[in-house]
Amino acid sequence: MPPPKKPLPTTHQLLESKFHIFFPYNPLTCPVTFSELIILLRKTYYFKLLPNDFFFIKPRLISPESIKELPEFNHLNLSLPTTNWPDTYSLLNFLKTRFEFKSPLTKEWINIQLNKQKTTDKPSLPTDMNEVNKIAGTTYPIKNKKDLLENIKKTGNHFSFQRIPDLWIQIIQKPTLPDIPNLKTYIEKNNLNIQIPILHDESFPSKIRLLREHFTFQRLSSEYITTPDLPEPTITQFNFSWF
């Protein structure tokens, strides 16, 4: 008989060191799939459910000073604030997999100054956004934050400017997450592919991202979440002795 397996710890920090790279589980950064991770865990531990704290939920964006102290950020070799578009794209790709934040970021994060030599080659930004849309192929006013960076880049290809006028950015603030009955009504009305409570499985992060597209919240309470029923431990997980 194989040696008996250990009970799964209540927090992922107490797992054996070889598992630390996988937790808290984030499908965007984890080197293995959720199914593969379960198989790896079951080789050492016996359990029925993974605790909620084993899963990664994006927190609110921390300060630039705190970001600079993260080892994974230092590997990017970026300086804050970023001052060019390639570094800015790298920064945003890094942040969006780890934090919740609103665009545009402040100049503490992004402070792109136009090259003085190039400013002489481009006209100043017109005051009429419809003229900019016609020339640069932009879609002002911007109402969705995911369209912001693309439109700023298109604008910079044709005009010199320090910042986009505030009136050209009309991103609608999302409402706070409603209670469960109202949330279910909203989901049904808008045909969203989410069931409440949300099953805490491999698709959980994508369901949270979809929910965040419609509502503002920091962390879901337990009433919004249900955990999957994992297979019961098999007899090989135990060591029996007969006398």
pLDDT at 116 over 50: no
CB atoms within 10 A of CB 214: 15
Strands (E), 110-235: 198-199, 225-226
Q: What confidence score (pLDDT) does residue 231 get?
A: 53
Helix residue ranges per DSSP H, the chain? 34-42, 64-68, 71-74, 85-96, 116-119, 129-136, 148-156, 180-189, 204-212
Q: What confidence score (pLDDT) does residue 229 get?
A: 59
Mean pLDDT in residue range 181-201: 87
pLDDT-above-90 percentage for the chain: 16
Q: What confidence score (pLDDT) does residue 205 get?
A: 79
- 3-state DSSP assignment of residue 133: helix
Question: Side-chain half-sphere of 102: how many Cα atoms within 13 Å?
Answer: 12
What confidence tens digit (pLDDT) does each residue in 149-177 have?
889 889 988 998 878 888 898 877 778 88
Give one DSSP letter per residue of 181-199, joined into a string: HHHHHHHHHTT-S--SSEE
Q: What confidence score (pLDDT) does residue 47 get?
A: 87
If one compares 197 and 243, the residue with the highest pLDDT of the two is 197
pLDDT at 137 over 90: yes
Mean pLDDT in residue range 18-22: 88
Domain layout of the chain by residue ranges? 6-50, 57-113, 117-171, 180-226
| Rounded Cα–Cα distance for residues 159 and 140 (Å) | 15
CB atoms within 10 A of CB 91: 21
Q: What confidence score (pLDDT) does residue 1 get?
A: 65
Tokens describing residue 170: 């009309």
Q: What confidence score (pLDDT) does residue 34 get?
A: 84
Strands (E), the chain: 6-7, 45-46, 198-199, 225-226
Q: Which of 98-107, 121-130, 139-148, 226-235 shows the lowest mean pLDDT across its residues? A: 226-235
| Band of pLDDT at residue 55, cut at 50, 70 and 90 | confident
Are 25 and 55 in contact by the 8 Å Cβ rule? The answer is yes
